[in-house]
Structure 1
Amino acid sequence: MKNLRLIKVLTILSVIVLPFLVGLSQKYQIKLSSTQAGWVLNVNIKQARVKFKTKTHKRVTPTENLEATVGVNGLNVREQPSLSSSVVGKLNLGTKVTVNDEQSGWAKVKSSSGIQGWVYTNYISKDEASNNNTQPVTGPTISTDSIQNTQEPLKGKTIVLDPGHGGSDDGTTSIVGTYEKTLTIATAKIVDQKLENAGAKVIMTRTNDTYVPLQQRADVSNKNHADAFISFHYNWINDPLINGLTDFYYQKSKDYLLASDILNEVVKTTGLNNDGTRFDDLDVLRNNSQPCTLIELGFLSNKQDDSVVESSTYHDNVAQGVYLGLLDYFSTKKQETKSKDTNH
């Protein structure tokens, strides 16, 4: 009877212990990244465990009663979250709004005056004091350096605005038949008004539908010792899908800062794609001894761009962008001058 019990115990132990002992002596072949292979005991390695998780999608809930502040002047409020949607109102710099919803870079806002609609989230910023740790409006934010309460950097500055083409030179033609020369003069006149209101001395290379030779345009800048020269153009390409804004410089040390500052701000105020600041050997830039840039304000060959750029609202937005870009540029130049004076 005792022997029988002993046999049962040994049987149970063999079931428990034997696999364990076998496991200890189990060998695994491994291969290193160096292509070397060999054998090791399994006690010396840890087996990877694969965990499977069910992927869940986080539900994004609408923003409710988020207080925000408008960061630019003349912000377009649209009926729907789209550049092609009609403008239902405008909001000025510093206006307080309530954000009720957000989608795809747009925010649905309502002002105290009753203006309600969709705006780019780029141009509004969360009011920290009133939102008590509520998540801020998503999307790029406008540099606080760009939104200045003073127009001091532009006072006394000589700015030459060059509306491209004119007279016998129509430039390109939009898909709806508008000449480029018509759009450039309309844009430049709005920019002129904006900059003069800020205290700048503005000189136009042409004020009507006349042809001005390229060398003469550069000469206007050189003779008046312009602090900045900006030539306005609109683009065209055979590929109707290409769109966006770009601008050009000739001499990097002299022109690049001006070009990039203006493009960055115009992109923000218009909402069009940023195609970058590039070098180009253009007559009005090459023959210009003053800081200068030529900006292409959208593709007249692209339906989306063209539907936007031919509106008076777009010209206002360009003017705001140029104004903010010049504020950035002259503020940076002023800081560089102070730094040099301090070092000397």
Structure 2
Amino acid sequence: MSVSAEESTYGVGASTLIVRSQPDIQSNAIGYIKRNTVVTVSEKRFGWAKIDYNGQTGWVASQFLYPTNKTATESPTQNVQSDQKVTVNASGVRIRKGPGVNYAIRGFANSGDVFSIVNQQGQWVQVRLNGGGTGWIAGWLVSSSANNQPTGQQSLKGYSIVLDAGHGGFDPGATAYNGLYEKTLTIQMAQAVAEQLREAGATVVMTRSDDSYVTLANRVSVSGSYPADAFVSIHYNASPILSTSGITTYYYDDSSQGLAQDIQQELAQQTGLPSDGVRFGDYYVLRNNPEKAILMELGFISNPNDLALIQTAQYRSNVANAVTQGLMNYFGK
């Protein structure tokens, strides 16, 4: 039977499973799910399975699902004892509707505010709001009442980060299989990462904030002008072999290798795309940079599956989380 209604749980068998808005491969990708995540399927239709994805209806290819008796969960969360509390340690902290900067703001908290923890997901803490309901706060902006230590690694207060959105203006960079330019994707990602870093307390400087052309020399000069604690260049890859996939982080100087490793490790854990590791890269913005500098290739826009993920807000949020945590790990050593 081609169409069936059921309510059962399945595990994800693919390394990364695209979630679409309709049971059609041409429909928009609204997110993705990692291998072994358990989902609840409410309906099957012509090779597609209907699931709930972050509060909205999503469809996934049913051939990548396997039956399981586990409790369904869309993303890994850590249950917390109901009596555990956190204290906000900064002013004007944003309370969001979900665990990431791409979620809408539902309120603000100030230094000294105390909340009960409901759940924790990655670097974000879900708290019970005083007026009812719940919200999410970045874990590095709160401290546990038990030990007065931040729930995350630490903040990035006092650090200056230069974000370099690759290409721009008359330099489009690589072209995706659907005609989208790399320069458009890099500025979108840079803006998402910048917002996350600022929430973590960092001072962020961008080499470009719009669709303008910036020379390689001018990009590098930004690092020496402030000076910066780290220079992070954002790019996407392309290949004539459409199945080529993955993320790579490059460094030039040995002093930047550790930073590249810490960020690549987080990207590998949080994005769902294959990790191509850390490599030496003889790029101008790395070779001539006076500060610690890395260049990230955040997936292949020539690969339809990579591109479907890259274009989602959830992917930008995951990369932003990974870069922020990678920087925290590096500077926290």
Do they superpose with TM above 0.5?
Answer: yes
Deviations along 1:285-314, whole A, 9 cap, x unmatched? 000011110000000111110111012221
1:248 to 244, 247, 250: 250
CA change 1:277–1:176 in 2 (3 A) is same
Query: What residue number does 1:56 align with?
Result: none
Q: 1:306 to 1:274 in 2, by over 3 A?
A: same
Q: Is the radius of gyration larger for structure 1 or structure 2? A: 1
RMSD across aligned C-alpha pairs, in angstroms? 3.5
Q: 15, 33, 36: which is aligned to 1:105?
A: 36
CA distance in 2, matches of 1:103, 1:189: 25
**Residue of structure 2 equivalent to 1:170:** 172
Contact 1:261 1:328 in 2 (8 A): yes
Higher helix proportion: 1
The share of aligned pairs that are identical, in percent, is: 41
For 1:207-226, list aligned pairs within 5 A.
Answer: 207-226=209-228
Separation in 1, partners of 2:34, 2:154: 37
2:193 partner letter: V
Which has more strand, going by share of residues? Answer: 2
Q: Which runs of 5+ in 1 are unaligned?
A: 1-61, 65-77, 88-101, 129-141, 333-344
Match of 2:230 in 1: 228
Write the letter of the residue equivalent to 2:39. K
Give the aligned residue type for 1:257: G
Supply the AA of the counterpart residue of 1:154.
L
Q: Contact 1:257/1:329 (CA < 8 Å) preserved in 2?
A: yes
Once the two structures are TM-superposed, the CA of residue 104 in structure 1 deviates from its matched residue by: 4.3
- Match of 2:212, SS state, is coil
> Aligned in 2, Cα 1:104/1:162: closer, same or farther, shift over 3 Å?
closer
Match of 1:190 in 2: 192
Q: Distance in 1 between matches of 2:15 and 2:236?
A: 25
Q: Which runs of 5+ in 2 are unaligned?
A: 1-7, 22-32, 41-53, 57-71, 82-121, 124-138, 141-150
Partner of 1:99 in structure 2? none
Alignment of 1:49-88 (within 5 A): 83-86=17-20
Give, in whole Å, the separation in 2 of the partners of 1:274 and 1:127: 31
Q: Measured at CA, do residues 119 and 261 of structure 1 come closer, stay the same or move farther in structure 2, by a change above 3 Å?
A: farther
Name the CA distance, whole Å, in 2 between partners of 1:115 and 1:251.
45
1:320 CA drift (Å)? 1.0
Q: 2:286 matched to which residue of 1?
A: 285
- How far did 1:180 drift? 0.2
> Normalization by structure 2: what TM-score?
0.60
SS in 1 for 2:204: strand
Cα distance in structure 2, aligned partners of 1:264 and 1:127: 26
For this pair of structures, how many residues does the alignment match? Answer: 225
